[in-house]
Amino acid sequence: MHATSVLRNAARTPLIRFLGKRSVPTSVDHTPRAHPASPSGSLPDSFVTYRAKAQQHGPLGAAAVGAGWIGRRPGAALGPVEPKAGEFFDRDELPQRFHRLPWTETEIEAIETGGASLFN
């Protein structure tokens, strides 16, 4: 007797059992609603009004998009990119106590061996 042929011919019974017959709901309400956790509790009037207020990697407002100047000019033309007072772009711009610490030989060895070198 060949086990593979027996297994292929065996009827597969799923391990999960569903209760009742499958049914598709007859009516589903697809009207847009504000998310329950939204701060305003209301939907925007339109995508255009949302886009006018949005800010993502630069201005997305109607003045920037409608004029068509984003994408036609280099990024430097959008203005200077300087951090505000008290903001820093990199950790190395902070005082020395906040800089990254150099790796020690023990830490490098522990990482390379997956921690096995710690248990000699």
The whole model's pTM is what?
Answer: 0.29
Let me know if residue 33 belongs to a domain.
Answer: no
Domain count, the chain: 1
For residue 4, the model assigns a pLDDT of 72
Burial class (CB in 10 A: 0-12, 13-18, 19+), 66: exposed
Let me know if residue 92 belongs to a domain.
Answer: yes
Which residues lie below 8 Å from residue 92, measured CB to CB, with a gap of 6+? 99, 100
Q: What is the mean pLDDT of the chain?
A: 78
Domain that holds residue 114: 85-119
Let me know if residue 106 belongs to a domain.
Answer: yes
Let me know if residue 14 belongs to a domain.
Answer: no
Lowest mean pLDDT among 17-21, 37-41, 56-60, 106-110: 56-60
Average pLDDT over residues 7-20: 80
Query: pLDDT confidence of 104, banded at 50, 70, 90?
Result: very high
The two three-digit tokens of residue 84, written as one number? 């505000």
For residue 78, the model assigns a pLDDT of 72
Query: pLDDT confidence of 105, banded at 50, 70, 90?
Result: very high
Q: What angle do CA 91, 92, 96 make, to 5 degrees?
A: 100
Average pLDDT over residues 42-46: 83
Q: What does the pLDDT look like over 49-87, one tens digit per residue?
A: 777 776 666 655 545 444 555 567 777 777 777 888 888
CB 109 within 8 A of CB 117: yes
Let me know if residue 65 belongs to a domain.
Answer: no
Give the rounded distance of the alpha carbon of 70 from its chain centre.
24
Rounded Cα–Cα distance for residues 91 and 97 (Å): 10
Let me know if residue 28 belongs to a domain.
Answer: no
Q: Which residue has better confidence, 8 or 103?
A: 103
CB 92 within 8 A of CB 99: yes
Let me know if residue 105 belongs to a domain.
Answer: yes
Let me know if residue 102 belongs to a domain.
Answer: yes
